[in-house]
Chain A
Amino acid sequence: MTRSVLLVEDDPRVRRSLRLALEDEGYAVVEASTGASALDMLRERGPDVVLLDLMLPDTDGFSVCRELRRESAVPVIMVTARTDSHDVVAGLEAGADDYVTKPLVAKELSARIRALLRRATAGPSAAPRDDLTLGDLRIDLGDAVVVRDGVELPLTRTEFKLLAELVLAEGRVCSREHLLDKVWGYGYFGDSRIVDVHVRRLRMKVEHDPASPCHLLTVRGLGYRLAG
């Protein structure tokens, strides 16, 4: 099945070369050069993943990202100027699932996309039990949904994968490196801020009081764990 990528990039030459290279990697590419057209394309074409350059002519990438997130749970990879800027955290908080920095190469991009589109880990041991409960939450690993009082919570695919990984650990501590590997497909040197921001986002959705979480707990210096 051909996956489609929505490529939001204002520089036409970069856009064209990336389209060619991504098509070589086996993706169908939809292009948008502005924030507004990106939102149109999202509604019209329903891409599997969005590659969003934060530097856009008409509006800033963060608000486009928030807008995208309001309408869709589609994985978003943002393109930031640099790794160690505050843009990374801001973009992740705006709803991006992952980030890459320029100069970006289709091969690396393709690896990122594949990692994000991978289904939530369902290890052999977890296969039979596709329904888990966590407090008043019901987590359906098969359909990748989380339900509270019969209402489905609007988790993104990545947020669900993160939650599922923690659930599968059955209360044991998951290190940031472990989560980066399992959810994002990063090695040891992955950016642990990605995990931290996603945990924050997840808390906003599943915790009754995100400021003092009772399910998603931080274990200082080690990582995170779930408590029932």
Chain B
Amino acid sequence: MRLGVRGRVTLLFGLLALALSLLLAVLSWSLVTHFLVAQRESSAAAETAVDAGLLQREIDARPVDVSGALDTVGSGASAAVLRYDDAWYATSLDPTPSDLPAALVERVEAGTASTQRIEIDGRPLLAVGMPLQPSGNAYFAVYDLTELNRTFRVLSASLAGAALLTVVCGLVLGRSASRRALRPLTELNDVASAVASGRLTARMDTGGDPDLAPLARSFNATVESLQRRVRADARFAGDVSHELRTPLTTMLNSVQVLQNRRARLPEEVREPLDLLAEDLERFRRMVVDLLEISRAEDESSATSEAVAIGELVERAADEAAKRPVTMVEPEAADVIMLADKRRLERVIANLVENAERHGGGCTGVTVRLGCDGSTVEIAVDDAGPGVPIDRRERIFERFNRGDEAEDSGVGLGLAIVARHVGQHHGRVAAEDSPVGGARFLVTFPVGRGRGR
């Protein structure tokens, strides 16, 4: 798995914190332990030296009672051992004189004061040996280092805890730093997806980070030129259809005059006249739809008034189907929404006409309240084969025709639906109808304004 930038920055911060805290921990560990051990050793050595002096004097005073003399010293040690005239005397059997390292004994007997750390039955001990002057005997004291070891354990535990805390802090810091650093990218992502979803007015803030301003500016320039292109395309389509309407008027009215006299026309020209009239009607629809969709870009032209959505859908759908097809559920009957009546009528009429023409006939239009009451849903069902899943998005694009049947319309009807629904902040989707066939589901937010 590849880590994202944020993951990498976070990991880096964590590793850095880990390395730093390990270094500090090891450093403090070795310094503190060295210091404590050295201190313990020197205090043990000093104590042993004092005891050795005392012992010597005691022995000098009463040479017969060597073990009695030994009892007077070594109060700070866990064991005091005396090597006197090749005999061992000890105040304790644990540790015994045989536990003393031979090397230490040898060194001390040779006349050098020495210390050595030993371990007996897992117990850490410090053995200090002191030659007794001038007799050539040796005095040993064994100190228990368990307490010191416990201190070391506490120290190491705190150091490990501190290191862990540092690592966690590093990770948190890395995460928040990367989030802060990547915030402009997050914004870029938001704006880019807004543009991708068709909101071409979205722009990035160029006044923010000076390092990212050039990126924001060039992104904005790209969207700007895209928007210009889209506008120019729409204006071109609008201009073309606008210009087409003048000759279309001439043609429509002239054909009407001919059709008024259809009965008087020779048999052989009636069929071409009918063909002409039918295709002229298709042409008229195409021009009107083109104009509708090209000016749909211009949101300023939308009007908005409070309409009872159930009534509007019923009127539009029944008129388009030329028979009653609408069922308004009682809860949805009094829903009022702000809408452009003419455009909403187009939405419903186009969906119903689509069902009539491509869906084997409209089987019903239902208006109901969404489950949480904040939306109103309009479902247009048909009896056709349904819309294949891979076409459910594309079907709302311009000139995307469902089939190549002769009477398949122009292919702008659903694009107009998608556009007008979007302008009302709604959604439209093609899905399977529970009664078979396709269902086109339009959802509008209704927010406040329910009930009259």
**A interface list, Cβ under 8 A from B:** 11, 13-14, 16-18, 20-21, 24, 81-86, 102-107, 187-189, 191-193, 221
Is residue B254 contacting chain A, with contact meaning CB distance below 8 A? yes
| B342-A84 in contact (CB<8A) | yes
Measured CB to CB, the nearest residue on chain A to B306 is A221
Say which residue of A20, A84, A192, A193 sits within 8 Å of B253 (CB atoms): A20
Q: Which residue of the partner chain, among A14, A189, A191, A192, contacts B250 with CB atoms under 8 Å?
A: A14
Taking A14-B249, A14-B253, A189-B341 as given, write out 7 further A-B residue pairs in contact, using a Cβ cutoff of 8 Å, ordered by the A residue number: A17-B249, A20-B257, A21-B257, A84-B295, A103-B288, A187-B319, A191-B342
Chain A nearest CB from B262 CB (Å) reads 12
Q: A84-B295, A193-B303 are in contact. Are A14 and B246 (CB under 8 A)?
A: yes
Query: When the two chains form their complex, are residues A13 and B250 in contact, meaning their CB atoms are under 8 A apart?
Result: yes
Query: B284-298 interface mask toward A, CB cutoff 8 Å, 1 = contact, 0 = none?
Result: 100110010001000
| B243-260 interface bits toward A, Cβ cutoff 8 Å, 1 = contact, 0 = none | 001111111111011001
- Min CB distance, A3 to chain B, in Å? 18
User: How distant is the Cα of A56 from the Cα of B312 in the complex, in angstroms?
Assistant: 37
Most buried by A among B245, B250, B341: B250
- In the bound assembly, the distance between CA atoms of A106 and B253 in angstroms comes to 6
A17 touches B254 (CB 8 A): yes
B316/A189 in contact, CB under 8 A: yes
Tell me which residues across on chain A come within 8 A of B305, comparing CB atoms: 192
In the complex, are the beta carbons of A189 and B245 less than 8 A apart? no
Q: How far is the CB of B365 from chain A (nearest CB, A)?
A: 16
Report whether B257 and A85 are in contact in the complex, using a CB–CB cutoff of 8 Å. Answer: no
B256–A84 contact, CB under 8 A?
no
How far is A156 from B166 in the complex, measured between Cα atoms in Å? 87
Asked whether A102 lies within 8 Å of B245 as measured between CB atoms, the reply is yes
* A24 contacts B256, C-beta separation under 8 Å: yes
The answer to whether B341 touches A18, judged by C-beta atoms less than 8 angstroms apart, is no
Contact of A103 among B252, B301, B316, B319 (CB under 8 A): B252
The answer to whether A17 and B253 touch across the interface, beta carbons within 8 angstroms, is yes
Q: Kindly report which residue of chain B lies nearest to residue A221, judged by CB atoms.
A: B306
A17-B254, A103-B248, A105-B252 as given contacts; A189 in contact with B315, CB under 8 Å: yes
- 26 A-B residue pairs with Cβ-Cβ distance under 8 Å, sorted by A, are A11-B250, A13-B247, A14-B253, A16-B250, A17-B250, A17-B252, A17-B257, A18-B253, A20-B257, A21-B253, A21-B256, A24-B257, A81-B242, A83-B342, A84-B295, A84-B302, A86-B301, A102-B246, A102-B248, A103-B245, A103-B248, A103-B249, A105-B252, A188-B311, A188-B315, A189-B345
Docked-complex contact B301 and A84, CB < 8 angstroms:
yes
CA distance A188 to B254 in the complex (A): 30
Given A13-B247, A84-B302, A189-B341, the answer on whether A105 and B253 have CB atoms closer than 8 Å is yes
CA distance A85 to B242 in the complex (A): 13
For chain B, residues 265 to 289, give those with C-beta under 8 angstroms from any C-beta of chain A. 284, 287-288
Q: Is the CB of B250 within 8 A of A24?
A: no
Nearest CB to that of B298 among chain A residues?
A: A84
Cβ distance B108 to chain A, nearest Cβ, rounded Å: 111
CA A11 to CA B250, docked complex, whole Å: 10
Tell me the bound Cα distance from A189 to B346 in angstroms.
10
Question: How many Å from the CB of A16 to the closest CB on chain B?
Answer: 8
Known A18-B253, A103-B252, A189-B345: A84·B303 in contact at CB below 8 Å: yes
How many angstroms from the CA of A20 to the CA of B260 in the assembled complex?
Answer: 11
**Do residues A102 and B257 form an inter-chain contact, with CB atoms below 8 A?**
no
- For B315, the chain A residues whose CB sits under 8 A away are 187-189
Give the chain B neighbours of A102 by CB distance below 8 A: 245-246, 248-249
Q: 6 smallest A-B Cβ distances: which pairs?
A: A21-B253, A17-B253, A102-B245, A84-B301, A103-B248, A17-B250
